[in-house]
Structure formats: C-alpha cells, structure tokens
A and B are shown apart, each in its own frame.
Chain A
Amino acid sequence: MTPSRPLGLIAAFAALAVLYALPAIAPRALVQDLFGVLTLLVLALNWNTLAGFAGLVSVGQQAFVGIGAYAMFAAIILMDLNPLVGVLIGGLAAAAFALPMAFFAFRLNGAYFAIGTWVVADIARLGISQWKALGGGTGTSLPKGTAKDMAFVDRIKAALDVSSAAAADALTYWLMLTLAVAMLVAGHVFLRSRMGLGLQAIRDNETAARSVGVDPVRLKALVFLLTAFGTGLCGALAFIQITRVTPDAAFSVIDWTAFVIFITVIGGIGTLPGPIVGAVIFYALQRLLADYGTIYLIVLGCLGIAVMLFARRGLWGVFTGRTGIDLLPLTHRPPKSAAPQPQASRRTA
C-alpha cells in the first residue's frame, strides 16, 4: 500500500465533514446547487455499477427516476403517507418496474439494449401521463408545506436559525448526501463481494466465467434490480425538493441519464471514485461558465468526447494509471501465511 492512501482517505473524510457542515455555514443557494450535483452523483454511482461493471449500458434510467418520483407523490397525495416513507416506496416501485423491464430488455444486446431501455422509459412516461389522479400530462405539486412538515425540520430550523424552507432544503440535502455516501459504500461492498467478483470475471471473459460457474444473466439482472432501487430512491428524494412533478421532467432522458453518462465517462467508467470526480468537474464547469448560459453543457459534451477518444478509463483512470494511487481498490489479496513452501502443501494422497 502506498503512503498516499491514508492521506487520500483523510482528505476524503475532511471533504465529507465540510459537506455535512455546509447548511450551517453556507448560503441556501449553494446548498440547493449542491443538492442538484449530489442527485447526479447518486445517479452516476448507480449507472456506473450498471454500465461500468455489469456492462449494461442503459439509456432508460429516467424510467426509475420518474417512477420513483411518481410513486412518492402517490404515497403522499393519495395515501397521505410520510414523505420519507414515500421515498422508500419510490425506490421499491422502481425496483418492481425493473423486473418486467429486465424481462424485455435482457433479450437485447449492446446498442439494442440501450435503445430498448430508452423505449421502455418513454412508454412509462406515456403511461404515467394517463394517471389523472396525479395531474395527467401536466403533472401536479406536493401539497403546500409537505417539505416543511417533515420530521426534524423544526429542530433544524431552530438549530440553524433559518426559515422553514431553508431548513427543509438542509434536510433534503443531508439525506441526499447520506444517500450518496451509502451508495458509494454499498457499491464498494457489493463489488468486493462474491457477486462483484463474478461481475468482474464476466466483464473480462464471459465464456470463461460461465465455465467456472458464474451465471451472467442472473448477476446482471440482480445489478439491474439493485440499481433501479437506488435510482428510484434518488428520483423520489430529488422531487421532494423540487416539489412539482410532470411526466416530462420526471422522465427526462437529458436530465437523468445523459448528464449522468457524461459525468461517469469523464470521471472514469468502471472505477468506483470515477463518478465523484465527474460530479466535481461537472459542478466546477457549471460555476466557471455560469455567466454564459448553458455553454457549460457544450464544454461538458466536448470534454466527454475527448475522454472517450483519448482516455477510455476517464480522469480517475488516468490518475491511478500515472500515480498508482487507488482509493477504493477492489482487489482481493491472498492470505499471507499460506504463500510459501509450494511442495509442503501438496495434497497428494
């Protein structure tokens, strides 16, 4: 292990501490901005596991954002449930939708899979547009005060001495930040598990993987389901903060999938810290070019293309390649004690 690794971890924890402290020290606008970036980060962490590790290049993740958001709205408006329960229902609804979606899309390969997921997402958008109780094609809003009435908002309001709206923003921000950390940890644990090892084997050589007992379809379906759940949770939480939902906004391929792909590709697809690097760059560009309208998107697009052409593993991949530093390695190291004496441990009868 390189000495720079503990340093990197210390830096990461320091950054995390600052991020958690932010609502207490920074203006509300910054908290709102970062909420948007964190939303994209959570989506990117999920898409990275899906595309970068399971090889499932989906362009239909907006289906899960949209279904998560609408399920949350239904839970609050139609069933009068707690918003946070609504978020959980959003995740579960997205996972439930992933089952039939996988059944269809897993019959397709490569580009057809990508297009297939997109088509399914659009069908979901059209279907939701028919849901009159939630406003049909024009959408609906959360009842007034839903966000402000969430648990803890009063206490945050008192502790930070801010308005109810700002306290609600702080709460959703903390939840999204926590979701991002949880996704990162869960991603790391999953990829280092038996199933993660199987995924890496499939990525390297599917024929050989099958021949040592790995079932590619089963593993990929599991990843599809789990990332749908994560994406649905994220979508539901995002729309609690946005407070208004329409089919077009909730199922936007640009907002919920295209940006996410760019962020992941620029940061480093198939690497765990890649989406974080990508999200930071996305935010930096947005800030730097804020005065020029949406030009940051054009720059982002060009950067994405450059990375695809010249640095396939993204900026994090380039960084680890040059320095040998890897903050979240997935390697399994052999046990030290058993290594020497090749003859002694021979199992000859």
Chain B
Amino acid sequence: MAILSLQSVSKSFGALKVSDSVSFEVQPGEALGIIGPNGAGKSTLFNLITGNIAPDQGKVLLDGRDVTRLPPMERVRAGIGRSFQIPQPFVHLSVYENLLVAARFGGEVGAAEAPGFCMDILAQTGLAAVAEKPSGGLPLLQRKRLELARAMATKPRVILLDEIAGGLTDAECGELIATIKAIHAEGTAIIWIEHVLHALTSVVGRLMVLNFGRMLMIGAPDQVMASPEVREIYLGIEA
C-alpha cells in the first residue's frame, strides 16, 4: 500500500489556484523529487500534506487512512516529518534542544534514549559542534541543516524536504546528498523539492513537475527531463 496518497487535492488563495486537483502516490521507502517554477505551489503542496493548510477539496491518505482533517501534530506522530523552506528554528533554544523537542514530541522518543538519539542525528547532519549554540544565531547553511536534523528527529516514515540545498557549495551539497541517501537507505520515504537538479536526480527515483498548481508530469527523471514541455519550464527556472 502507498504510504502517502493525494486524491484530487485543490487549494486556492482567493482567485489564485495554487493546488489544482493534484493526485499522486508515494510508496514506502520511495524517493520522489518535485520541481517547478517559483510560485508553482510546491511549498503549499507540502503544507497540505502536513496539515498546516487545509485543502478546499480532495483527500490526503497516510497508509490508506484519511488524515485530511488531522492537525499537524498528529500527522507528525503518524510519521510525516517536514522541513521548512524558510528555516523556522526555536530561536531561544539551543540546536540540541531544537532536536530534543522534535524527538520527545513528534518522535515519541523516551527521556532516556532522546539525548543519544539527538546527538546521533546532529553528528550525521554535521551539527555536533554547534549543539549548544542558540539556534537563533546560526548562519543560513546551518539553519538549513537544522531544519533537516529536526525533521529527522521526529522519526518520520516519510520526510518532506523543501529546498534545503539552495545556496550550498559543491562540497556542502555533496555532504547533504550523502546524508539524504543515508536517510533513504534506512527505508524512509522522501519527497524533496529542489531547484538543484543534479542533487535531486542523484537521490530520487521519480520526478514530479508542478506548474501553476497543476501536476504537469510524474515519472522517471530522464523521461521527465526529456519532455519538451518540461524543458521549456525548466530552462525558465535555470535562466
């Protein structure tokens, strides 16, 4: 059974249709990439999946169960973890405490195991050295890593990553890819919105293209990128 499934999900902001009858499925352990121009409705799609925004129409199913009416905190506990495109750290808490909240609540990790569990993730995401720093003072790169680390700490079965590779150097991007591959290798399903195409295609098995809230195509990355329609939009992004 699909771990996550969207059925004709639509959402408008006023006259602007940001999600137009979107339907797709993600299998357990699968990695799906999402591309599309700015304003296409990619982040909104994540918000619909996590429950931060309620759809006007359509359903979101997790393990075949309708979760459309569940609030975000219950969807996290049910296994949907997310990062925010614009990092949203708990600024007065340390990096370590940011993960601790996520592990204790979303991940339902016990008090005894939580410290070691969080430190493992911090090590894996290259944040161990700044564990005790207040997260509010971190530079952008480390904020983005914190988004990833905090999402991991909720013990997701499907993790949603929203543009976490933007603005990284090649070396940093390489590290990030290694981390995401490691998450994937553990069997976590991944949905990853990214403009850095080579990063995306090195991880995902399928690619989805979103444009004006509509799903234009979904399929194998090379097939999708070979489509003239997609090339046109995609060149628009690159330019």
Which A positions have Cβ atoms within 8 angstroms of B? 194, 197-198, 200-201, 203-205, 207-215, 331-335, 338-349
User: How far does the alpha carbon of A344 sit from the alpha carbon of B119 in the complex, in Å?
Assistant: 12
Shortest CB distance B146–A (Å): 11
* B1 touches A (CB below 8 Å): no
Across the interface, B100 reaches (CB within 8 A) one of A205, A207, A215, A332, namely: A332
In the complex, the answer to whether B102 meets A213 with C-beta atoms within 8 Å is: yes
In the complex, the answer to whether A204 meets B118 with C-beta atoms within 8 Å is: no
User: How far does the alpha carbon of A214 sit from the alpha carbon of B104 in the complex, in Å?
Assistant: 9
Pick 8 A–B contacts, CB within 8 A, sort by A.
A197-B97, A200-B97, A205-B91, A208-B84, A211-B72, A211-B106, A333-B132, A349-B186
Shortest CB distance B192–A (Å): 17
In the complex, the answer to whether A335 meets B101 with C-beta atoms within 8 Å is: no
Q: What would 9 more interface pairs be, CB under 8 Å, given A211-B88, A345-B123? A: A205-B90, A208-B88, A210-B52, A213-B108, A214-B73, A335-B116, A338-B115, A346-B182, A349-B186
Query: What residues on B are CB-neighbors of A209 within 8 Å?
Result: 90, 101
User: How far does the alpha carbon of A205 sit from the alpha carbon of B87 in the complex, in Å?
Assistant: 11
In the complex, the answer to whether B71 meets A341 with C-beta atoms within 8 Å is: no
User: How far does the alpha carbon of A342 sit from the alpha carbon of B126 in the complex, in Å?
Assistant: 7
Interface residues in B93-142 by Cβ distance below 8 A to A read 93-94, 96-97, 100-102, 104-108, 111, 115-116, 118-120, 122-124, 126, 128-129, 131-132
* B92 touches A (CB below 8 Å): yes
User: How far does the alpha carbon of A212 sit from the alpha carbon of B102 in the complex, in Å?
Assistant: 5
In the complex, the answer to whether A340 meets B128 with C-beta atoms within 8 Å is: yes
In the complex, the answer to whether A345 meets B100 with C-beta atoms within 8 Å is: no
Query: What residues on B are CB-neighbors of A194 within 8 Å?
Result: 104-105, 111
In the complex, the answer to whether A204 meets B73 with C-beta atoms within 8 Å is: no
Query: What residues on B are CB-neighbors of A344 within 8 Å?
Result: 123
Query: What residues on B are CB-neighbors of A349 within 8 Å?
Result: 182, 185-186
Query: What residues on B are CB-neighbors of A215 within 8 Å?
Result: 71, 73
* B59 touches A (CB below 8 Å): no
A207 with B186: in contact, given A194-B111, A212-B76, A212-B150 (CB under 8 Å)? no
Shortest CB distance B29–A (Å): 12
User: How far does the alpha carbon of A284 sit from the alpha carbon of B148 in the complex, in Å?
Assistant: 51
Q: How many residues of chain B get a CB closer than 8 Å to chain A's CBs?
A: 47
Across the interface, A339 reaches (CB within 8 A) one of B71, B72, B119, namely: B119
Shortest CB distance B102–A (Å): 4
State the 3 A-B residue pairs at the shortest beta-carbon distance, nearest first: A213-B106, A213-B105, A338-B119
Most A C-beta atoms less than 10 A away, residue of B76, B94, B104, B131: B104
Query: What residues on A are CB-neighbors of B129 within 8 Å?
Result: 342
* B89 touches A (CB below 8 Å): yes
Q: Is the interface of B mostly helix, strand, loop or mixed?
A: helix
Most A C-beta atoms less than 10 A away, residue of B50, B73, B129, B131: B73
Query: What residues on B are CB-neighbors of A340 within 8 Å?
Result: 128
In the complex, the answer to whether B73 meets A208 with C-beta atoms within 8 Å is: no
In the complex, the answer to whether A347 meets B124 with C-beta atoms within 8 Å is: yes
In the complex, the answer to whether B154 meets A346 with C-beta atoms within 8 Å is: no
In the complex, the answer to whether A212 meets B154 with C-beta atoms within 8 Å is: yes
In the complex, the answer to whether A331 meets B120 with C-beta atoms within 8 Å is: no
Query: What residues on A are CB-neighbors of B181 within 8 Å?
Result: 348
Query: What residues on A are CB-neighbors of B123 within 8 Å?
Result: 338, 341-346
Query: What residues on B are CB-neighbors of A212 within 8 Å?
Result: 76, 101-102, 105-106, 150, 153-154
Most A C-beta atoms less than 10 A away, residue of B52, B123, B181: B123
Most B C-beta atoms less than 10 A away, residue of A205, A213, A335, A343: A213
User: How far does the alpha carbon of A81 sit from the alpha carbon of B120 in the complex, in Å?
Assistant: 56
The closest CB in chain A to the CB of B71 belongs to A210
Query: What residues on A are CB-neighbors of B128 within 8 Å?
Result: 339-340, 342
The closest CB in chain A to the CB of B152 belongs to A347
A211 with B76: in contact, given A204-B91, A205-B90, A334-B119 (CB under 8 Å)? yes
Shortest CB distance B142–A (Å): 14
Shortest CB distance A176–B (Å): 32
Chain B 171-202 per-residue mask, 1 if CB under 8 angstroms from chain A, else 0: 00000000001100110000000000000000
Query: What residues on B are CB-neighbors of A332 within 8 Å?
Result: 94, 96-97, 100
Shortest CB distance B137–A (Å): 13
A214 with B105: in contact, given A332-B100, A339-B128, A347-B182 (CB under 8 Å)? yes
Shortest CB distance B127–A (Å): 9
Shortest CB distance B121–A (Å): 8
A347 with B91: in contact, given A194-B111, A334-B115, A334-B131 (CB under 8 Å)? no
* B82 touches A (CB below 8 Å): yes
Chain B 34-56 per-residue mask, 1 if CB under 8 angstroms from chain A, else 0: 00000000000000001010000
In the complex, the answer to whether A345 meets B124 with C-beta atoms within 8 Å is: yes
User: How far does the alpha carbon of A345 sit from the alpha carbon of B116 in the complex, in Å?
Assistant: 10
User: How far does the alpha carbon of A211 sit from the alpha carbon of B122 in the complex, in Å?
Assistant: 19
Query: What residues on B are CB-neighbors of A205 within 8 Å?
Result: 88-91
